[in-house]
Structure 1
């Protein structure tokens, strides 16, 4: 029974079924944000939500039965377990807001069921040390440019560079490239023509170079994961080929035995 259940749990059809349920759950949560739909079809939405949660609970129970303690050795399994158990515990509790958070978080289970998404998230987590270093460097750059901006442009645009805090907020707006030219740059540029050096250099360093460093690190980690998967696949293929050769040798040995036995019988 355990082996049969393991084949079901690890099958592509089962994973596809769970993924479809997660997407339906996401659709139901989205529909509940419309007051008219929630008022007219609230009971139906609630019933469907309970059914989907029951399937999720059965999935977790099946995996616990198959993998036992090994189930908790996988971070994605732990994530799924917390989401499902949290939803079950809080379903009839007064903490409606927390329950809604858990219901929305169920949508994130698509990450654990789709391998390509898992690789992307894993690559993102692998890049955290590098991202932390890049953020620290960006913080230093922000601070230096904020001090410079406050010294030079506080009298020209006190709304944006009146003190260090305002300068940091203005630089963050420039960093996001949100209305930075018309809102911040042009009034300063009109009073101080050389200010373009300040703004352009900040954008090139912070927005283009720093973001490319982060993206490049994530891409490199994703490539490493893909290479490891290809290597494992190649090793499995090699094992299959070795197994096939062994089977051929067994057949040949069997044929030789048959031939020898036939010769012995004739004598």
Structure 2
């Protein structure tokens, strides 16, 4: 007797995200988390947070004036506490939007930065230290950079250019050391202030990277030795032209990569509603197929 294969019904969740919500992944099913998700991804909430960050930066700047601090110090402190309360509430809402998996909030670097900056202001050791507290308050202003695409592109470009820049920095250190040693040999007696040691020579050569007063420096060197011309010309050509232009090339390449990343993320967010609609259509077809398979299974059972 041929064996029969049992068709197990497949449970499908055909619920689709609320179209009134802005495009955002993984809408949690819990009512409270869903409400936090709705608020956290609402444009008005994001613009409010940006405005609060700007006001926080203005209050920090006003606090540097002694006259304003003497007259309105109590108001500035009150506003700072109000901003801190808002940032804590904002952080709680954003973490709560992840529902029963709040650890997913810390998968993004910006979220970790926000958490550290806001949580640091609540630590007892920092609140009693005026200098550290001011630095923590100032760090809140950095959060403004993630609100604007152009600033995000610059930050992404800086981060992506770091490996290449560090490599060029290593080459630049070697060049400065070698030319500093040669400069110490040539000009240590005549110019002890600039070339009295390899450290002073390297610092002097580092200042020449801006090509400021190069002609005067070369003329002063020619009065000491005839080797000054090939020494300075080769250094300026190698360090001032080649290395600096390589650094510019690394930064430009990183800027292009950052623009592509930002454009890809923007296109993904703009296509996300279409993706959700396509997913719902596929789920509907799979559900219809499941019903057909269940009917075939019922007929097969009735015959046997």
Does the TM-score normalized on the shorter chain lie above 0.5?
yes
Distance of aligned partners of 1:25 and 1:233 in 2 relative to their CA distance in 1, 3 Å threshold: closer
Measure the CA separation in 2 of the matches of 1:211 and 1:121.
20
Measure the CA separation in 2 of the matches of 1:4 and 1:58.
14
Distance of aligned partners of 1:17 and 1:167 in 2 relative to their CA distance in 1, 3 Å threshold: same
- Using the TM superposition, give the Cα deviation of residue 233 of structure 1 relative to its aligned residue in structure 2, in angstroms: 4.9
Is residue 21 from structure 1 mapped to residue 49 from structure 2 by the alignment? no
Measure the CA separation in 2 of the matches of 1:161 and 1:5.
63
Measure the CA separation in 2 of the matches of 1:53 and 1:10.
20
- Using the TM superposition, give the Cα deviation of residue 178 of structure 1 relative to its aligned residue in structure 2, in angstroms: 5.2
RMSD: 2.8
State the match for 2:111 in structure 1. Answer: 77
* Cα distance per residue 1:157-211 (max 9 Å; x no partner): 12111221221121122224455655x4443244446624433432332233323
Distance of aligned partners of 1:12 and 1:140 in 2 relative to their CA distance in 1, 3 Å threshold: same
SS of 1:88's equivalent? Answer: coil
SS of 1:132's equivalent? Answer: helix
Is 1:173–1:180's contact at 8 Å kept on the other side of the alignment? no
* Cα distance per residue 1:209-247 (max 9 Å; x no partner): 323322322322232232244345556649839958x98
Measure the CA separation in 1 of the matches of 2:113 and 2:55.
19
* Cα distance per residue 1:80-121 (max 9 Å; x no partner): 000011112248842222111111111111123333322321
Measure the CA separation in 2 of the matches of 1:239 and 1:9.
18
Measure the CA separation in 1 of the matches of 2:274 and 2:255.
27
Is residue 202 from structure 1 mapped to residue 235 from structure 2 by the alignment? yes
When normalised by structure 1's length, the TM-score is 0.80
Distance of aligned partners of 1:81 and 1:191 in 2 relative to their CA distance in 1, 3 Å threshold: same
Which of these residues, 111, 114, 123, is aligned with residue 157 of structure 2?
Answer: 123
SS of 1:156's equivalent? Answer: coil
Which of these residues, 244, 248, 253, is aligned with residue 220 of structure 1?
Answer: 253
Is 1:156–1:188's contact at 8 Å kept on the other side of the alignment? no
For 1:97-176, list aligned pairs within 5 A.
Answer: 97-176=131-210
Distance of aligned partners of 1:7 and 1:29 in 2 relative to their CA distance in 1, 3 Å threshold: same
State the match for 2:95 in structure 1. Answer: 64
State the match for 2:38 in structure 1. Answer: 7
Which of these residues, 249, 263, 276, is aligned with residue 230 of structure 1?
Answer: 263
Measure the CA separation in 2 of the matches of 1:38 and 1:158.
48
Higher relative contact order, chain-length normalized (CA < 8 Å, sep 6+): 2
**193-202 vs 162-171, which deviates more?**
193-202
Measure the CA separation in 2 of the matches of 1:185 and 1:41.
56
Is 1:90–1:99's contact at 8 Å kept on the other side of the alignment? no
Is 2:154–2:258's contact at 8 Å kept on the other side of the alignment? no
> When you count helix as a share of all residues, which structure comes out higher?
1
Measure the CA separation in 1 of the matches of 2:133 and 2:265.
40
Q: Structure 1 stretches of 5 or more lacking a match?
A: 251-267
Is residue 47 from structure 1 mapped to residue 78 from structure 2 by the alignment? yes
